[in-house]
Structure formats: C-alpha cells, structure tokens
A and B are shown apart, each in its own frame.
Chain A
C-alpha cells in the first residue's frame, strides 16, 4: 500500500504544474482559448451564445483531455518503470488505478476552475454554469479513465499520440451526450437525470480502466 502511495506521489509530481509531463497549464490554456475564440467565430449574438455556450465548453473540455495522453504512460514503459514495478509484485492494474487518480487530479479540478472564466466568455448564466460544473465533476473522472486506458493501449506504438486522440473521441461521446444534454434538459427540470447518467458512465469507465490498461501493458510486453 505504501508503495502505491509513493507511486501516486510521483505521478502527481510528474503531472501537476512544474512536472515534466506537460503540466496542467497547457490543457487549461487550450480550453480557455476555445472558449475565447467561439464568440469571435459566431459573432456577438447574446442569446445564441448563451444557448450553445455550455455545449462548446463540454467539447473544449473533451479536446483538452486529449493533450496530455501521449505522456501519461508511454515514457514509463520506455524507461522500464513498469518492468521494475512488476518485479516488485506491484501489479499493472494498481499502477494504472493510481495514474487515473493522478491524471484526474491534474486536469479535472483545474478545468472546472477554468470553466468560470470560460462561462463568462461565452455568456452563459449562473444556472447553466452550475449544470456545466456538476456535469464536469461527474464526467471528467470518466474522461481520465478513458485517457489512461488509451495511453496504456498505445504506449508501445510509434504514432500513438495521433491514434489516442482518435480513439478517445468515440469513447467519450456518451459522456458528452449525457453531460451536455443535461444543459438542454435543465429548463424542463430533467437536468438531474443527465447528470446521473454521466456519473454512472464515469463509474463504469473507472471500474474498467485499471483492468483494461493493465492487460494492455502486459500484452505489449510479450
């Protein structure tokens, strides 16, 4: 158990700002720049922006989650970390579970913070902002789980970075449908069910990720 805590500590040091795996700054800046560009592209139409802004924030969050994928698992495979952990009886599943947690901590909460200025940029109101924030809280753990699983799957591939982006998008569609869907249901008072489904899908992904990622790493070793 203490070994896993050490691994989590290392993962966080790597992934958080100042670490050498890109940090949290790049995805957050990317996220904010999408929110900033959108009103320029659509024009100063307040009601239109307010109606579509929440969806754009969701798409931006999903795309921002792709950015750190190629550095999540591949460097540790190349440098032999996973082999050394396996020799010490630390399973790939446990390491992947820690990495999902670390990855979420490094991009979920910062993205939720950045959503506040992004909401102002696209001009959505307080109630919609609240639904977006709750949706991101429910959806980003699932995004982190998909991200780490894909990073483990593509760790040994030469063009893994481009491929992982393509793989993430279809898998993340259910999160987007339910999460962003909660926004349009909000006015009819059915927003809760969208959020609940987003959270449920996240939980399923979180349960699968360690086993899928661990199996992928072991298969790549053969």
Chain B
C-alpha cells in the first residue's frame, strides 16, 4: 500500500449563511485513525466530503496523499441489478477480483438478489465490500454502523483495525461508539463557529 497521508490546516466549512466549524486542523499518518464526534447537523458529513475532495472548504487547506474511499448512506449500487452484478461493476473499474469479500461480510448468499430487495444492513455490508475492494489507503466512513447488527458492527470494527494495521488511514464519523484502539477523537463542537465567537 502506498504511503498515505491526510492533513488539514485551519479548515472551515460554510453551509448557506451558517459557519459549521472553523480553525480545524489535524494530521494523520499511516496507520492512524480519527473519530469525528458531534451531534446531528454539526458538520460531520460535510467534513468528510471536504476530506474526500467532493466539496471545497470555505477556508483552509487540505493535503492528501493516496486514494480515497468513501462510505456514506448511499451505497452506489444499481437497485435493479443482482448484488453480484452491481458489485462486479465497481470491481471492473477498480480492477479487483470479484466476490473476494462477500463471504467475509456475510452477503455471499445474496448474490442473485436484486439490490432493491436488500435491507439497510445488507446494503451497508455490500457497500463495505465495495469499499474494501477499492483498496484505497484512506477510508472515510460516514456513519458506518448505521443499520448493522451486533455481529456486523464487530466485523466492521475489525476490518477497520486491519486496515489501519496495514498502514491505512481511517476517518470515522459515527454517533454510535466505534471501538478502535489508539484512535483519536475530534469533537467538532470544539470548533463550532459560536464557540470561537464568529
């Protein structure tokens, strides 16, 4: 895996007229994980989209080395296609071997089921298979535990741990506790705009 790096300097995010957060800085080296904590609407997802390069920060700079994989509430899998084909589409783009992680994630029995019939948790597991297959060193996980059962939660925590142990970086935005040793916690309310008197 290539040497990954992710650092933010003095980031600020604005949505409409509202300044969500400002003066946010951190640096992540290979193997490190960051948990973004905060209440709903504080800007966790916005921060992740900025880190992914999908949105521009209102202020500040972002330095990123290595490819990024994003997991959010949208699995980006074709609703009417069987799960195997929907995953195979991303596999062909990412150049991976098909069906490597479906058994691990417990969705190998669903290969012929169209994605629209899958439950929230099953979709999340499928999205995780897509995420792993992308083999990107930087993982951005937006509410990765939503809709998952206890077994899957443990599995996702273990996968993230393995990812970091292999030199990957993970940024996790979750309102549920995410057990990961040695992770740093970034409380977004410390950077909320009214806290710093803007």
Contacts and interface: CB of A to CB of B under 8 A. Distances in A.
Contacts of A3: 93
Contacts of B26: none
B53 A87 contact: yes
Contacts of B70: 83-84, 87
Contacts of A88: 67, 93-94, 134
A87 B93 contact: no
B1 interface: no
| Interface of B, helix, strand, loop or mixed by DSSP | loop
A80 interface: yes
A86 interface: yes
Interface of A: 2-3, 6-7, 10, 14, 20, 78-81, 83-84, 86-88, 90, 221-222
B108 interface: no
A222 B56 contact: yes
Nearest to A222: B55
Contacts of B74: 78-80, 83
Given A83-B70, A86-B53, 17 more contacts: A7-B93, A10-B78, A10-B89, A79-B74, A79-B76, A79-B79, A80-B76, A83-B52, A83-B74, A86-B54, A87-B67, A87-B69, A87-B70, A87-B136, A88-B134, A221-B54, A222-B55
Contacts of B76: 79-81, 83-84
A87 B52 contact: yes
Contacts of B54: 83, 86-87, 221
Given A88-B93, A88-B94, A80 B55 contact: no
27 contacts: A6-B89, A6-B93, A20-B79, A20-B80, A79-B74, A79-B75, A79-B77, A79-B78, A80-B72, A80-B75, A80-B76, A81-B76, A83-B52, A83-B54, A83-B70, A84-B70, A84-B76, A84-B90, A86-B54, A87-B52, A87-B67, A87-B68, A87-B69, A87-B70, A87-B136, A88-B134, A222-B56
A209 to B, nearest CB: 23
B92 interface: yes
Closest 5 CB pairs of A and B: A80-B74, A20-B80, A80-B76, A84-B76, A3-B93
Interface string B17-57: 00000000000000000000000000000000000111110
Highest count of chain B CB atoms <10 Å: which of A3, A81, A84, A222: A84
A86 B56 CA distance: 14
A98 B79 CA distance: 21
A214 to B, nearest CB: 14
Given A80-B72, A81-B76, A221 B55 contact: yes
Highest count of chain A CB atoms <10 Å: which of B67, B68, B89: B89
Nearest to A84: B76
B53 A6 contact: no
B10 to A, nearest CB: 20
A221 B49 CA distance: 10
